[in-house]
Amino acid sequence: MIREKVTIDANEAVAYVAYRLSEVIAIYPITPSSGMGEFADAWSASRIPNIYGTVPLVAELQSEGGAAGAVHGALQTGSLTTTFTASQGLLLMIPNMYKIAGELTSTVFHVSARSLAAQALSIFGDHSDVMATRQTGWALLCSRSPQEAQDMALISQAATLEGRIPVLHFFDGFRTSHEVNKIEQITVDDMRAMINDDLVLAHRNRGLTPDNPVLRGTAQNPDVYFQARETVNPYYQQFPAIVQAQMDKFAGLVGRQYHLFDYVGAPDAERVIIVMGSGAETAEETAKYLVGKGEKVGVLTVHLYRPFSVEHFLKALPATTRSIAVLDRCKEPGSAGEPLYVDVITALSEGLAAGTAPFKTMPVVIGGRYGLSSKEFTPPMVKTVFEELAKPEPKNHFTVGINDDLSHTSLSYDPTFSIASADVKRCMFFGLGSDGTVGANKNSIKIIGEETEYGAQGYFVYDSKKSGSVTISHLRFGPGEIRAPYLIGLGDANFVACHQFNFLERLDMLKYAAPGSVFLLNSIYGPEEVWDKLPMEVQTTIIDKKIRFYVIDAYEVAQKTGMGGRINTIMQTCFFAISGVLPREEAIEQIKKSIKKTYGKRGEAVVQRNFEAVDQTLENLYEVKVPGKVTSNFTRRAPVPAEAPEFVRDVLGPMISYNGDDLPVSLLPVDGTYPTATARWEKRNISLEIPAWDPDTCIQCGKCAYVCPHAVIRIKVYDPAVLEHAPATFKSTEAKFKEFPGMRYTIQVAPEDCTGCGLCVESCPAKNKTQVGLKAINMVEQPPIRETERVNWDFFLTIPEADRTVFQPTTVKNSQLLEPLFEFSGACAGCGETPYLKLLSQLFGDRTVVANATGCSSIYGANLPTTPWAHNKEGRGPAWSNSLFEDNAEFGLGMRLTLDKRLEFAHELLAELAGEMGEDFVAEILNADQSNDAGIQAQRTRVVELRKRLAQSRNARARYLNEIADILVRKSVWIIGGDGWAYDIGYGGLDHVLASGRNVNILVLDTEVYSNTGGQASKSTPRAAVAKFAANGKGLPKKDLGMIAMAYGYVYVAKVAMGANDAQTLKAFLEADAYQGPSLIIAYSHCIAHGIDMRKGLDQQKLAVQSGIWPLYRYNPALVDEGKNPLTIDSKDPTVSVQDYAYNETRYRMLVQSDEARAEMLMNQAREDVSRRWELYRQMAAMSYKKDEE
């Protein structure tokens, strides 16, 4: 049978099989497994049937714990059920996994294995999560590549149905889940042939039904629990053989033979590496290379890790084995060794004791850790492990791939060692996320994979920023399969493309270039002038490596052909033209075919525009005649300025310049604690346009700074004397503040930190009287003013901040005189969330502890290298932490409990020490009014005085008070997260924390989807909007979280939308913080996942309010005591139709474009939702709370 060759990643390959073998699929998004759920949901929405001819039912749950519960229920009632997850999600499934295994239930969970959050969260791949489930009783089956992942998905289903042991099928997150590789796709017939219908029927018949009732899930007593637990042993004993039999059956059908343990290498190997996952392929390929050089080495791949078959394991090992290195892709601190190592030791000991081992004496066995969090695992590392095994006393419990200068566990290796074959072409592309580089490369590798005989592989690396992010694409192609699950190494790339000219001053790309390779540069400078524009290091490398150098002005071609900033098609055409992988004409034909396939659905105009770009590319592509000498007089710039703090320079700097892999262990904090205020050193210069202030037009309203998502627009009022040392171009005008007579006023932009989102311009209400197209703040080109504005910015920073004690931040205008302590985040340009965080940091930042749920805000808030959370000159600022996704409310409550307890203790100590400290002074402290900044500042002064007095005391209790005296200054707890947390996974906790009555402030940055994982539906997603996991448009209305919270009666609740009413937002923040109980602010946050022009985000907020979709209100329980209704509706009756708001957004519009009838139906219902809710609020707000006058 001829099977189709497809070039896809493992997530798609696995989902393809899992979907077709299932009836019920319960999903929840988590990186890097979300793709599998997304495929399943999209296929279900498209009514694609499974192998039984019915469309699987795909249901999104509120958490992975929920998904596991739903899976358990579906299994208990006899459905063929699956789910997809990773990392913390898998941990949440563990309780149900015990149950499912204990009940001998056939199912497969597909896991893209990922690190667990310890000292930090990491989304990348290792086996920490899977290893945390090894005690649950599940079979653990590991795949090494996209091809294997697809195959094992089928084998695991066949095995679980036969053996009744549930299977956790896993593969390496990102490295395998996201690696695009050419695979042979198994067919529906293959699936049918592998799945025994009798076993499916048996599974169904074990399901609960009132027609044949049984009881499952009893409580057992000491008399029988133990025995009952032992009843399953035969199933576990038989399971390895069942899996092997299914592997053999699969081989008979498809031709690919797998074993529980696969050995590759010299038959008489003396040194053997034992390893699981993608690293096994690297080890295997390296071993083959070394065997070719005459070395007696081999690699044993573990496929079935649980149940661990000692018998099969021992049989797979060569009898000649003398030393073994067991590699674990996880860390188990404090253990005798990592899990696979311990299992191997056990198996060998048992085998030797029983006489079933292939050798008579125990080999030397060492264990090592590698590849945590997708750390590279490469042939040089494999080679060094083999070399270690040859030593008389090899290092045990080693690490490889890092420089451990602390505990000296690491093995050193020669990074220049390469097994790269000359037959395989290796190409690297450095681009921006926004320029479409990755998309083009995915298309290219598909073209090569599906239109040539070559094997093809693509892997894509992204940085952690959501704006201006750098992408690096690694493409390999050549004869045969590409089995190289690691990045292209130093000096190995035959083709290096730089899609952004300014990368040359930041990144050393050509270190990857092989001698005689090709370098393609997107350059505004033509072939005659480009040379002199290159940094010295680049020129040197081009000459030394005899690199062929090409340039194209892709942006010019893109502009001419209407492609805007998308240079993807143009650079792709250059790649094919230069690389010669296909004859030029054929390549162009294939590119166009691929364009048609990718963009055809979006309309002929899009296709034609791309065609035009392809056609115009080649005439603009030039080879540069490389001069024989270096002519440049400048070098690459340092990642951070020399004046940066030492930690920023030495530790964060290498991370910023993509050299974090070189950092030794000793330089990293032991407990995950990092300094704040570091984003200010990462001058990213990502925007070609920045705002410029026109003081003559400005009305000093502060709105531009208020809405700036990146805190790059700052306002100060100051003494005119300050201007004495001002740079010549520094702008200043008379301050129009009653609190600051005679002072000067400046709005200054941080030119190198601006993302160019333009929200400031959109928010500016002041228009130039003679040219209304200009406002008081206007976008201008950045490069011509970068240097002067940088000097102005530096000067601006030296101007003292306004004295918080002399004005009230109760107006938008005044609030923007407060220093932001959240600045320059890597959030999307124009982010709708970050302005709220900035405001919070301005108002309360110097006395706030933040509990931040996992999600966008934790990523732009704390993904290394830097953090936007900052401190003021006194060193005060938000103290921030992230626990998990699901527990954030409780986490924040814990913080509050500490503060409350500490304050209570401080008060007790003050009372004890009152005599010594001064009764009046203590009373002043205890009764201090800290309702505003002046009061808080006065209390800080008192605490300083208190500390002086305490220092003089001989009372042992005085030391206690001295340690905790800061608590006497009012502190706030802000609990922050997105709607995925607040409405779904964290809702139970959030509800409890609201109910607790404790003084916490909860800020929900409501984007109405799981933004961070790519826009999956949450319970906040409104009706009629399309989202992932709601591909047909959400059919039910948005959950009314505010209404639920109001039901408690003692929770402060506000619904705000900064773009619609900035003053109301400010008021809500101030009231929430002032309220001595739980507060909840639900903040409309426009988002890239809405599919809007982000520059118009504020307009959308306005329309959301005007249409009634997002009513503004404040519910302040404190008003009840005054006999007032606690609910104040701050927005007017709807004046705009819901459609006029909704159809500006792709999330709503795409449903009209894909299913007009459903869109119309849902929109009608959405309109009814709005009217009903509005009426309900109106009635609530009209209720009388007047106290009985009698």
Partner 1 sequence: MIDLSTQYLGLKLKNPLVASASPLSKKVDTVKKLEDAGIGAVVMYSLFEEQIIHESHALDYFLSHGTESFSEALTYFPDMEHYNVGPDGYLDMIRKLKESVQVPVIASLNGISTGGWVDYACKMEQAGADALELNIYFLPTDLELEGIALEDAYVELVRSVRAQVKIPLAVKLSPYFTALPNFARKLVGAGANGLVLFNRFYQPDLDIETLEVVPDLVLSTSDELRLPLRWTAILYGRLQADLALTTGVHSVEDVVKATMAGARVSMMASELLSRGIGRVSEILADLEKWLETYEYHSIQQMLGSMSQQAVADPAAFERANYMKVLQSFDRRL
The answer to whether residue 464 forms part of the interface with partner 1 (CB under 8 A) is yes
Q: 368 forms bridges with which residues in the sheet?
A: 327, 398
Nearer to partner 1, 679 or 1070 (CB): 679
Residue from 144, 329, 609, 942 touching partner 1 (CB under 8 A): that is 609
SS3 content of the chain, % helix, strand, coil (to 5): 45, 15, 40
The answer to whether residue 668 forms part of the interface with partner 1 (CB under 8 A) is no
Nearer to partner 1, 564 or 580 (CB): 564
Backbone angle region of 588, left / alpha / beta, with phi > 0 → left and psi within -120 to 50 → alpha: alpha
Over the window 286 to 325, marking each residue x when it contacts partner 1 by CB under 8 A and - when it does not, the resulting string is: ----------------------------------------
Buried b (16+ CB within 10 A) or exposed e, 769-800: eeeeebbbbbbeebeebeeebbbbbebbeebe
Interaction residues for partner 1, span 961-980 (CB under 8 A): none
DSSP code, position 673: -
Q: Which two tokens stand for residue 174?
A: 């990102």
Segment interacting with partner 1, rule: CB under 8 A, options 37-45, 134-142, 220-228, 973-981: 37-45
DSSP string covering 614-633, please? HHHHGGGEEEE---SS----
Task: Point out the catalytic residue in the list 160, 676, 888, 1012.
Answer: 1012
Residue from 356, 937, 1128, 1154 touching partner 1 (CB under 8 A): that is 1154
- Residue reference for tokens 């390959």: 13
The answer to whether residue 466 forms part of the interface with partner 1 (CB under 8 A) is yes
Contact yes or no for 978/1006 (Cβ under 8 A): yes
Nearer to partner 1, 285 or 1006 (CB): 1006
The answer to whether residue 375 forms part of the interface with partner 1 (CB under 8 A) is no
Task: Point out the catalytic residue in the list 20, 114, 306, 476.
Answer: 114
Task: Point out the catalytic residue in the list 7, 11, 31, 1144.
Answer: 31
Contact yes or no for 295/323 (Cβ under 8 A): no
The phi and psi torsions of 94 (rounded to 5 degrees) equal -55, -45
The answer to whether residue 652 forms part of the interface with partner 1 (CB under 8 A) is no
How many Cβ atoms sit within 10 Å of the Cβ of residue 522? 26
Interaction residues for partner 1, span 1006-1025 (CB under 8 A): 1011-1015
- What's the CA gap between 1057 and 469, in Å, rounded? 28
Residue from 95, 433, 527, 660 touching partner 1 (CB under 8 A): that is 433
The answer to whether residue 460 forms part of the interface with partner 1 (CB under 8 A) is yes
**810 in catalytic set:** no
Interaction residues for partner 1, span 132-191 (CB under 8 A): 174
Size of site (CB under 8 A) for partner 1: 61
Q: Which two tokens stand for residue 463?
A: 């940085």
Contact yes or no for 801/746 (Cβ under 8 A): no
Instruction: Find the largest Cα–Cα distance for the chain.
Output: 103
Half-sphere exposure of residue 919: CA atoms within 13 angstroms, side-chain side: 1
The phi and psi torsions of 1097 (rounded to 5 degrees) equal -55, -40
Nearer to partner 1, 12 or 1130 (CB): 12
The answer to whether residue 97 forms part of the interface with partner 1 (CB under 8 A) is no
- What's the CA gap between 1110 and 1101, in Å, rounded? 8
| Cβ 599 to partner 1 shortest distance, Å | 6
- What's the CA gap between 402 and 409, in Å, rounded? 9
Residue from 506, 787, 502 nearest 636 by CA: 506
The answer to whether residue 1105 forms part of the interface with partner 1 (CB under 8 A) is no
Residue from 828, 993, 1053, 1163 touching partner 1 (CB under 8 A): that is 828
Nearer to partner 1, 149 or 828 (CB): 828
Contact yes or no for 839/706 (Cβ under 8 A): yes
Contact yes or no for 139/131 (Cβ under 8 A): no
Half-sphere exposure of residue 411: CA atoms within 13 angstroms, side-chain side: 30
Residue from 156, 309, 471, 852 touching partner 1 (CB under 8 A): that is 471
Over the window 1038 to 1057, marking each residue x when it contacts partner 1 by CB under 8 A and - when it does not, the resulting string is: --------------------
The answer to whether residue 1137 forms part of the interface with partner 1 (CB under 8 A) is no
DSSP string covering 805-859, please? GGS-TTSHHHHTTSPPSB-S--SPTT-SSHHHHHHHHHHHGGGEEEEE-SSHHHH
Residue from 767, 948, 1132, 1178 touching partner 1 (CB under 8 A): that is 767
The answer to whether residue 1026 forms part of the interface with partner 1 (CB under 8 A) is yes
- What's the CA gap between 447 and 426, in Å, rounded? 16
Residue from 256, 391, 601, 1178 touching partner 1 (CB under 8 A): that is 601
**64 in catalytic set:** yes
Nearer to partner 1, 423 or 604 (CB): 604
Buried b (16+ CB within 10 A) or exposed e, 376-403: bbbbbbbbbbbbbbeeeebbbebbbbbb
Q: Is the peptide bond before 741 cis (omega within 30 degrees of 0)?
A: no
Residue from 412, 631, 931, 1153 touching partner 1 (CB under 8 A): that is 1153
Contact residues for 804 (Cβ-Cβ < 8 A; gap 6+): 818, 933, 934, 937
Nearer to partner 1, 939 or 1013 (CB): 1013
**31 in catalytic set:** yes
Residue from 566, 847, 1019, 1038 touching partner 1 (CB under 8 A): that is 566
| Cβ 1021 to partner 1 shortest distance, Å | 12
The answer to whether residue 41 forms part of the interface with partner 1 (CB under 8 A) is yes
The answer to whether residue 216 forms part of the interface with partner 1 (CB under 8 A) is no
The answer to whether residue 42 forms part of the interface with partner 1 (CB under 8 A) is yes
Interaction residues for partner 1, span 250-279 (CB under 8 A): none
Task: Point out the catalytic residue in the list 12, 23, 38, 64.
Answer: 64
The answer to whether residue 407 forms part of the interface with partner 1 (CB under 8 A) is no
Residue from 12, 23, 38, 126 touching partner 1 (CB under 8 A): that is 38
DSSP string covering 106-162, please? --EEEEEE-PPPSSS---S--SHHHHTTTTTT-EEEE--SHHHHHHHHHHHHHHHHH
Nearer to partner 1, 235 or 462 (CB): 462
Residue from 196, 409, 469, 937 touching partner 1 (CB under 8 A): that is 469
The answer to whether residue 1083 forms part of the interface with partner 1 (CB under 8 A) is no
Nearer to partner 1, 810 or 1164 (CB): 1164
The answer to whether residue 63 forms part of the interface with partner 1 (CB under 8 A) is no
How many Cβ atoms sit within 10 Å of the Cβ of residue 423? 11
**729 in catalytic set:** no
| Cβ 1065 to partner 1 shortest distance, Å | 22
The phi and psi torsions of 552 (rounded to 5 degrees) equal -145, 140
Residue from 75, 90, 123, 521 touching partner 1 (CB under 8 A): that is 123
The answer to whether residue 83 forms part of the interface with partner 1 (CB under 8 A) is no
How many Cβ atoms sit within 10 Å of the Cβ of residue 95? 14
| Cβ 1013 to partner 1 shortest distance, Å | 5
The phi and psi torsions of 212 (rounded to 5 degrees) equal -150, 70
Contact residues for 1138 (Cβ-Cβ < 8 A; gap 6+): 1107, 1108, 1109, 1163, 1166, 1167, 1170
The answer to whether residue 1147 forms part of the interface with partner 1 (CB under 8 A) is yes
The answer to whether residue 621 forms part of the interface with partner 1 (CB under 8 A) is no
The answer to whether residue 391 forms part of the interface with partner 1 (CB under 8 A) is no
Nearer to partner 1, 44 or 1064 (CB): 44
The phi and psi torsions of 602 (rounded to 5 degrees) equal -85, 0
Which residues form the interface with partner 1 (CB under 8 A)?
31-32, 34-35, 38, 41-42, 45-46, 123, 174, 432-434, 436-439, 442, 460, 462, 464-466, 469, 471, 562, 564, 566, 599, 601-606, 609, 767, 772, 828, 859, 1011-1015, 1026-1028, 1031, 1088-1089, 1091-1092, 1146-1147, 1150, 1152-1154, 1156
Which residues are part of the catalytic machinery?
A: 31, 64, 114, 1012
